[in-house]
């Protein structure tokens, strides 16, 4: 089955389905979307649509074969094929993202962080490596990094972005509050936390 792009809401529910399915006793060979909806207090139509997008329709009266459904969701989330990511900028935010272990539940593994500050560079053996920028482009190429996360200052963000693209990265998640110029084939996601808070404040005052 072709992988399709699903909504963020669907994507957000997939790990919940997965957890529920994996905790089922082995005897439960088949499972219906109705049961899943009930157990997780979700709407039946919603669950049916979600699972349909990921694994096709269940069989009438029988539902899904449990082990197959688990495999489908895992594969959809990229469990068999983790996408490798790197972070540039190992300040507080960069480190917080780097050490957060929830990303793997969505098929992404951050395998290294980079920084220009020599004081925070780790040695090669540590589990959460912070590497100097010198070897950045080569590292990205060697490890076939697909996702680059930018947590540097405004001023440095564009040049980091250019380096990422030179290293073969095709998707960029930018936390610097500035507009980046990227070629059309690069996927860019701009995260602006200050703006989220501003929006909340604006709602509060109106």
Tokens representing residue 151 in the block = 């947590």
Query: Considering beta carbons, is residue 32 or 171 the nearer one to a copy of itself?
Result: 171
Does position 184 interact with a copy of itself (CB under 8 A)? The reply is no
Indicate which single residue of 59, 141, 144, 189 sits in contact with a copy of itself (rule: CB under 8 A). Answer: 189
Indicate which single residue of 34, 52, 142, 201 sits in contact with a copy of itself (rule: CB under 8 A). Answer: 201
Give the N- to C-terminal CA distance of the chain in Å, as an integer. Answer: 48
Strands 83-88 and 147-150: parallel
Indicate which single residue of 24, 42, 65, 93 sits in contact with a copy of itself (rule: CB under 8 A). Answer: 93
Indicate which single residue of 28, 40, 62, 195 sits in contact with a copy of itself (rule: CB under 8 A). Answer: 195
* Helix H or strand E segment including 85: strand 83-88
Indicate which single residue of 92, 124, 126, 184 sits in contact with a copy of itself (rule: CB under 8 A). Answer: 92
Strands 30-31 and 64-65: antiparallel
Does position 200 interact with a copy of itself (CB under 8 A)? The reply is yes
Euclidean distance between CA atoms 125 and 138, whole angstroms = 19
N residues, the chain:
206
Euclidean distance between CA atoms 83 and 169, whole angstroms = 11
Query: Considering beta carbons, is residue 61 or 204 the nearer one to a copy of itself?
Result: 204
Indicate which single residue of 49, 103, 133, 156 sits in contact with a copy of itself (rule: CB under 8 A). Answer: 103
Considering only residues 124 through 183, tell me which ones interact with a copy of itself, judged by CB under 8 A: 146-147, 149, 170-171, 173, 177
41: left (phi over 0), alpha (psi -120 to 50) or beta: left
Which position has the token pair 């972005």?
161
The minimum distance between CB 130 and a copy of itself, in angstroms, equals: 14
User: Residues 6 or more apart from 168 whose CB is under 8 A from it?
Assistant: 140, 141, 144, 145
Q: Which residues bind a copy of itself (CB under 8 A)?
A: 3-6, 8, 11-12, 77-78, 83, 85, 91-93, 95-97, 99-100, 102-103, 105-108, 146-147, 149, 170-171, 173, 177, 187, 189, 191-206
């Amino acid at each position: 089955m072709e992988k399709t792009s699903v909504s963020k809401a669907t994507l957000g529910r997939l790990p919940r389905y997965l957890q529920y399915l994996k905790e089922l006793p082995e005897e439960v060979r088949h499972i219906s979307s109705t049961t899943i909806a009930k157990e997780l207090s979700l709407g039946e139509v919603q669950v049916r649509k979600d699972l349909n997008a990921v694994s096709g329709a269940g069989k009438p009266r029988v539902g899904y074969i449990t082990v197959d459904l688990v495999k489908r969701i895992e594969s959809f989330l990229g469990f068999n094929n983790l996408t490798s990511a790197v972070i540039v900028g190992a300040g507080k935010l960069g480190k917080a993202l780097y050490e957060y272990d929830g990303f793997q539940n969505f098929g992404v593994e951050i395998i290294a962080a980079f920084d220009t500050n020599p004081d925070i560079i780790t040695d090669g053996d540590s589990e959460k490596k912070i590497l100097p920028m010198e070897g950045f482009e080569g590292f990205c190429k060697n490890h076939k990094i697909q996702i680059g996360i930018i947590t540097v200052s405004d001023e440095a963000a564009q040049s980091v972005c250019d380096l990422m693209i030179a290293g073969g990265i095709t998707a960029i998640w930018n936390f610097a509050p500035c507009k980046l110029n990227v070629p059309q084939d690069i996927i860019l996601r701009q995260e602006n936390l200050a703006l989220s808070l501003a929006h909340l404040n604006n709602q509060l005052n109106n």
